[in-house]
Amino acid sequence: MQFSYSPSIPRDFPELASQTLLLRGMSPDVPAHAVIAPFMAQARQNLACTPESEMPSIQAWRRGFARMGLKPTQYRCAAEALLRRLRKEGDLPGLHPLVDLCNAASVAFAIPVAVFDLDRVSGCLQVRPQPAVRSTRPSRARSNIPSPAKSSSPTPLAAPTPGAGATAKAATRQCANPQSTR
């Protein structure tokens, strides 16, 4: 499996930073609470000191969305959405040990984290800009908005993961011939 960006992503967002991690043997019955708890405690401590909108990595994502002409408070990165939910509801729902761990790391470090089941991936994963589409809202409220992320199997559970840098509103798709790998 190969992970790449379309050439426009690193060109338009040179501050982009990504990491990949391959985990094996994750199943729904793996006990993960002991690993997740410190991340959640860190996230709660961070939120007690700083609202999510003022965290440097969240501000970087907001600047990236603004550079693409999107309203940063309307299109939040996955980390900001999770932090907001944690602040409002006090916890995050449990889904699967791996997803829960990634969500906990995402809120602890205020970075989006993507999860893919590689048993369902053929070829490679590539992050590409998502083209805008016209809204079907009434004309006075009509605007160009990104369409929902299009992806063939697998469906991303969170946005692709840049570090403190901004990124394009992206769709993760499988591709046959990646053009760049970072």
- Boundaries of every domain in the chain: 2-175
Q: Which tokens hold the place of 137? A: 């809202």
What pLDDT, in 10s, does the model give residues 95-136?
999 999 999 999 999 999 988 888 888 888 888 887 765 555
pTM score > 0.75 for this model? Answer: no
What pLDDT, in 10s, does the model give residues 17-44?
888 888 887 788 888 999 999 999 999 9
User: How many whole angstroms separate alpha carbon 182 and alpha carbon 180?
Assistant: 7
User: How many whole angstroms separate alpha carbon 52 and alpha carbon 46?
Assistant: 8
